[in-house]
Structure 1
Amino acid sequence: MSAQPQQTTSPQTGLAFEIGLLLLLSLIWGSSFTLIKIAVPTIPPITMVAARVTIAAIILIVLAASQGHTLPRHGSVWAAFAVQGLLQSALPFALISWGEMHIASGLAGVLNATPPMFVLMIALMTGRGRQAISGRKILGVALGLAGVAVTMGADALSGIGTANPLAQMAVLGASLCYALAPIWGQRFAGLPAIVTAAGAMSCAALLMLPAAAVLERPWTLAPPPAQAIAAVVALAVVCTAFAMVIYFRLIHTLGPLGTTSGSYLRAGFAVALGTAILGEHLAWSSLAGMMLILAGVVTVTAPALGKSAGAPARN
C-alpha cells in the first residue's frame, strides 16, 4: 500500500497568510480611531470602554462555548488573564479614548505607532521576548517609523508642542501597554486563541464596569445619538472581539515585535480610511509612506515566519 503524501504549507504560503492577517488586524484597529472620535463626544471614555469590552467579552465567551471550549478554572490563569486584559484592552482603550478628547486623531495615530519601539527597548534591556533582536528587525522598525512620519506628514507632528501634554502622554502610555501585552501574552501559548481572548476580555470588563460606575455614572447621562451607539457596537464586535482572536494567533506566529509592527499599518490605514470615507486628499507622500510601512512590516516579520512556517497555528 502506497503512503499518502503529506500536505505541507510552504514558507511562502505561511508568510503570505500571516502578513495577510496582520494587514486585516491593522485595518480593523486603524478604523477604531475614527469610531472613537465619533463616539467620545457624547459617550464618556470610561463608559465607552466599559461597554466595548463587556459586549466583546460576551461575544467571545459565546464563541468559545460554541467551539466546545471551556474557560480555565485555575486562579493563577485568571490572574494572568487579568494582567492581559489590563494591558491589552482596559488601560490602553481608556487612555486613547481620553487622549482623543484633547488631541487630533492624526497626532494620536503617530504617537500610537510606537509599540515596536517599546518592544525593542524592552527586549534589549531585559533579554525577554521570543525573537532575538537582529539588525534586520531594527531596520524594519526604522522603516516603519519613517513610513509613519511620511504618511501622517508634518501637519500631524506640528501639534506635538501645543497639544495637551497629558493627552500625548496618555497615548504613549497606551503604546507602552501594547508593547507589554504581547510579551505577557506568550504565556498563553498552550490555550486556544479564542479562550485567551475570552478570558482576558472578561477580566477587562470586570475592571472597567466598576470604574465607569464610580467615575462617570453613565445612568445619569443624556441618551447618546444612534451614530455614537453604532460606533461603540462596531468597536466591540469588530475592533475588539473579532480582532482579539486574530491578535492572539499572531502573538504565537509572529512574536511580540512582529505583531506590534502592525501599529505602523494602523497609522497608514487611518489615512486611507479618512480619504475613502471623509473625502480627505491622499497626497503622494502618503502613498510613499504606506510603502515604507509595508516594507518595514515585512522586514520585521519575515525572519520569524521563515523559521516556523508550516507549523500548525493555534486557532
Structure 2
Amino acid sequence: MPKSTAMIMTEPTARHWLMIATLGLVWGSTFMVIELALQGITPVWLTAGRILFAALLLGSLWAARGFRLFLGQPNWGMLVVLGCSNAVLPFLLISWGQQFVTSGFTGVSMAGTGLLVLPLAHFLIPGESMTKRRFLGFSIGFLGVATLIGAQAFDSTGSPLEPLGRAACLGAAACYAMSSILTRRLPAIDPVGLAASLLCIASVLIVPIAWVSEGPPPLPDRETLFWIAILGLLPTAAANYLRVLVIRSVGPTFMSLTSYQVPVWSVLLGALFLGEPLPATLLLALGLILTGVCISQWGALKRLFSIR
C-alpha cells in the first residue's frame, strides 16, 4: 500500500462502540421509513431526494469549514468510485429491489455485509486479517440474524422480478462492503469534507439517472416530503458522517458489526410503532448476535473493560 494511504489503526473505544450502536439504530429504522415514503414517490426519485437533501446539509457544513478535503496527496478517482458505491448504487438497488422481495430478505442481505468485508479487508487492509476467531464470530452473528428473521426471509412474493430483486439486495450489500474498504484506503482526508463530497458526487450522478428512468421529478405531498427529509437527515447525512469516522479510525471490519444490529432494531421498532408481533426466536437471536460480537471483538472488549 502506498504511504499516502497507510493509516494507524486505533483500538475501538467506548465512543466507537456508541457510534456503531447509533448507526445500527438509525439504519434499523430506515427500511420502515422507505416503505412509508414509497407510498408517495417512485423509488429512484426517492433515492435522489434523500441524497440531495443530505448533500445540501453536509455541503453547507463543509462550506463553513472552507471546503477542506484532502490533507495530503489527492485521489479523485477513488473518490468518484466511492460516490457511486457508497450511496448511489446501494440506495438504488435497495429501493428497487424492495418492491419485489420480502423485507426479511432485505435484512438478511444487509447482514451479509460483515461476511463480505472480512475477506476483502484481509487482502486489502493491513492489520485487518481474517482470523479464525473473527470468522467464527461473524458467522455466529449472521446465524443470529437468520434466526431472528426466520424462514420468512426466503418466502416468495410471487413477483416475476423477485430473482432480480434478490440480486439487487445482495448487490447493495456488496457495494457497502467495497465502499468500506475504499474509504479506509483513502489518503489523509477531512472527514466532514469526505462525507459531504461523496454525497455531492452522488447527487450529480443520481439526478440524471432518475430523470431518464422515471421522467421529470414528481411533486410529492407534505407527508412524503417529511419522510424524504428524515431519510436525508438521519440515515444519509448524519449516518454517513459517523460511518466515515468509524472506518477511518478503527477500520471496516469493526464498522461491519452494524450489519448485525440493523435487523434487530428493525424488528423491535416494527413491534413498537407498527404493532408487528415479536418473533419467538428474538432472545435466541440476540444471544447469538451478542456471542458473535464478543468472539469477533474479544481482544478489543478485554482492553475496553480491562479484563485480565
Which ranges of 4 or more aligned residues in structure 1 deviate by more than 6 Å? 160-163, 305-309
Find the partner of 2:296 among 293, 300, 303. 300
Name which of structure 1's ranges 20-29 and 37-46 shifts more when overlaid on structure 2: 37-46
Q: What is the alpha-carbon distance in structure 1 between the residues aligned to residue 301 and residue 125 of structure 2?
A: 15
SS at match of 2:125: coil
1:158 matched to which residue of 2? 155
Find the partner of 1:140 among 137, 142, 156. 137
1:198 matched to which residue of 2? 196
C-alpha contact 1:258 1:300 (8 A) present in aligned 2? no
Compared with structure 1, are the counterparts of its residues 232 and 248 closer, same or farther at alpha carbon in structure 2 (3 Å cutoff)? same
2:276 matched to which residue of 1? 280
2:21 matched to which residue of 1? 23
Q: What is the alpha-carbon distance in structure 2 between the residues aligned to residue 292 and residue 51 of structure 1?
A: 37
Q: Which amino acid aligns with 1:235?
A: L
Q: What is the alpha-carbon distance in structure 2 between the residues aligned to residue 304 and residue 176 of structure 1?
A: 26
1:35 matched to which residue of 2? 33
Q: List per-residue Cα deviations over 1:245-269 (Å, max 9, x = no partner).
A: 1101110233112212211111111
2:104 matched to which residue of 1? 106
Q: Which amino acid aligns with 1:294?
A: L
Name which of structure 1's ranges 242-251 and 53-62 shifts more when overlaid on structure 2: 53-62
Q: What is the alpha-carbon distance in structure 2 between the residues aligned to residue 298 and residue 15 of structure 1?
A: 15
C-alpha contact 1:92 1:175 (8 A) present in aligned 2? yes
Q: TM-score, normalised by structure 1?
A: 0.85
1:50 CA drift (Å): 1.1
Q: List per-residue Cα deviations over 1:158-193 (Å, max 9, x = no partner).
A: 339988000000000000001101100013352122
Q: TM-score, normalised by structure 2?
A: 0.86
2:117 matched to which residue of 1? 119
Compared with structure 1, are the counterparts of its residues 303 and 192 closer, same or farther at alpha carbon in structure 2 (3 Å cutoff)? farther
Identity %: 32
C-alpha contact 2:36 2:227 (8 A) present in aligned 1? yes
Name which of structure 1's ranges 136-145 and 155-164 shifts more when overlaid on structure 2: 155-164
1:8 matched to which residue of 2? none
Within-5 A mapping of 1:164-243:
164-188=162-186, 190-219=188-217, 221=218, 223-243=219-239
SS at match of 1:234: helix
1:36 CA drift (Å): 1.1
Q: List per-residue Cα deviations over 1:268-307 (Å, max 9, x = no partner).
A: 1111110111111213411321232233234334546878
1:48 matched to which residue of 2? 46
Q: Which amino acid aligns with 2:138?
A: V
C-alpha contact 1:178 1:260 (8 A) present in aligned 2? no
Q: List per-residue Cα deviations over 1:27-52 (Å, max 9, x = no partner).
A: 11111111111112331121111111
Find the partner of 2:249 among 229, 250, 253. 253
1:75 CA drift (Å): 10
C-alpha contact 1:188 1:196 (8 A) present in aligned 2? no
